[in-house]
Structure 1
Amino acid sequence: MTPIALLGVPNDENSSYLRGPADAPAAIRRELFSDAYAQCSESGVDLSVPGRWIDNGDVAFEAGLDPWLAIETAVARALEPGHPLISLGGDHAVTHPILRAVRRRHPRLTIVHVDAHPDLYDAYQGNPRSHASPFARIMEEGLADRLIQVGLRATSAEHRAQFRRFGVETVSAAQWTGELRLKIDTPVYLSLDLDALDPAYAPGVSHREPGGVTPRQVIGLIQGLGAPLVAADVVEYNPRCDIGNATALVAAKLVKEIAGMMAGGTREAAHLAA
């Protein structure tokens, strides 16, 4: 049995508009482990088996300690036993220190980044750690061999220049019209910003961007990666903006499907589930 490690990253100090994503880990866990929902992934994995989840709690942020060092250290500790890790954010800025730790364990790595926004500004509003800038830092530091961004629908001239600078591969929301099968020959880090989803499905985000993708499209992408999924984050859930807890439920569903694939689930099992 493959255990799945969980780690909460309750940090939103680099959010540019609203605070609230720091409250996400507890809210997602509540839905993830609720008796109201099935604990089997569509890919055929029973997530209720004792020992399946190893919950490492939340990163502790202490006064006087750089939050980035706290995150990197906690992620490295969670990864030490060799289990795949799902981090629950937090705003998207936290992906940068998470990947510092992940990269040390995976010399070959592709990032699949699902988002409405590229998050490639050099320093949004003068902040190089902004949640609108993590992938600029990640690519500058060589923390991945490839960056594939999908679901985009809010790009600027600066973003397009950064695409060229870093060799980013992109699939816009408009281009994502059918089954999306990416050709990847390395381990994968999945970074899932919930504002990639249309606000009809996930209103609980700080930056709602209409015209987004569906949970079914994202689940299909997860199930069709075709490469080892070694770590992931689910970020930018803002409980203060949610309606009827809808986004927390979607986040928990996506965490289950990520975990199912990490634990050996198959796309074929998902297609046979009906």
Structure 2
Amino acid sequence: MTPIALLGVPNDENSSYLRGPAEAPAAIRRELFSDAYAQYSESGVDLSAPGRWIDHGDVRFDAGVDPWTSIETAVERALEPGHPLISLGGDHAVTHPILRAVRRRHSRLTIVHVDAHPDIYDAYQGNPRSHASPFARIMEEGLADRLIQVGLRATSAEHRAQFRRFGVETVSAAQWTGDLQLRIDGPVYLSLDLDALDPAFAPGVSHREPGGATPRQAIGLIHSLERRLVAADVVEYNPRCDIENTTALVAAKLVKEIAGILAGGTRAAANLAA
């Protein structure tokens, strides 16, 4: 049995508009482990099996310590036993220090970044650590060999210049139709911003962008990464903006499907269940 490591990253100090994503890890865990919902992934994995989850709790942020150091250190410790990791943000800025630790374990790495926004500004509002800028830092530091951004529907001229600078591959929301198949060899890191989904399904985000994906599209993409996925994060859930806990439930569902694939579940099993 493959245990799945879980780590909360309750940090939103680099959010540009609203605070609240720091409260997300606890809210997602509450739905993830609720008796109200099935504990099997669609890919056929029993997530309730003893020892399936190894929850490392939340990153501790101590005064006088760079938060990026705290995150990177906590991720390194969670990865040390060799278990695949799902990190719960927090805003999207936290993906940068997470990937510093993940990259050390993978000489080849492709990032599949699912989001309404490219988050690749050089320094949004003058902040190089902004949640709108992590992928600029990630690519500058060579933390991935490929960056594929899926679901985009809010791009600017600066974004397009950054795409050219870093060789980013993009699939816009308009292009994301049907069963998306990405051609990827080698390990994959999935970074899933919940505002990639249409706000009809995930209203609990700080930056709602209509015209987004459905949860079914996101689940299909997760399942398509079988045998290549090595770690993931789910970020930008803002409980303060949620409606009747809708987004927390969707986030928990996506975490379950990510966990199923990390634990060896298959798309064939998901299709059989359907």
Q: TM-score, normalised by structure 1?
A: 0.99
Write the distance in 2 (CA, Å) between the matches of 1:99 and 1:183: 21
**What secondary structure sits across from 1:198 in the alignment?**
coil
Which letter maps to 1:27? Answer: A
1:90 maps to amino acid: G
Structure 1 residue 22: Cα displacement: 0.1
Query: 2 CA distance for matches of 1:76 and 1:30?
Result: 25
Structure 2 residue 93 is the aligned partner of structure 1 residue 87: no
| Residues 32 and 252, structure 1, Cα contact 8 Å, conserved in 2 | yes
State, as a whole percentage, how many aligned pairs show the same letter. 89
Deviation string, structure 1 residues 22-67 (Cα, Å, up to 9, x no partner): 0000000000000000000000000000000000000000000000
Counterpart-to-counterpart distance in 1, 2:117 and 2:70 = 26
- Using the alignment, how far apart are the partners of 1:37 and 1:138 within structure 2? 36
Structure 2 match to 1:156: 156
Instruction: Point out 4+ residue stretches in structure 1 off by more than 3 angstroms.
Output: none
Contact 1:188–1:227, Cα closer than 8 Å, also in 2: no
In 2, Cα distance between the equivalents of 1:188 and 1:36? 31
Root mean square deviation, CA, Å: 0.5
Mapped to 1, the partners of 2:57 and 2:176 lie a distance apart of 35
Distance (whole Å) between structure 1 residues aligned to residue 226 and residue 86 of structure 2: 18
Deviation at 1:177, TM superposition (A): 1.1
Query: What is the rounded CA distance, in whole Å, between the counterparts of 1:203 and 1:147 in structure 2?
Result: 26
Partner SS, residue 104 of structure 2: helix
Aligned residue type for 2:159: H
Q: Which residue of 2 aligns with 1:47?
A: 47
Structure 2 match to 1:103: 103
String of CA shifts for 1:1-39, please: whole Å, max 9, x gaps.
Answer: 000000000000000000000000000000000000000
Query: Matched residues in 2 for 1:181 and 1:202: separation?
Result: 24
Q: Within 5 Å, which residues of 2 pair with 1:28-39?
A: 28-39=28-39
Counterpart-to-counterpart distance in 1, 2:14 and 2:137: 14
Q: Partner of 1:101: helix, strand, or coil? A: helix
User: Secondary structure of 1:170's partner?
Assistant: strand
Counterparts of 1:1-274 in structure 2, within 5 Å, are: 1-274=1-274
Structure 1: runs of 5 or more not aligned: none
Q: Report the count of equivalent residues.
A: 274
> Which string of whole-angstrom CA distances, capped at 9 and with x for unpartnered residues, describes residues 97-149 of structure 1?
00000000111100000000000000000000000000000000000000000
Mean Cα displacement is larger for which, 221-230 or 50-59?
Answer: 221-230
Q: TM-score normalized by structure 2?
A: 0.99
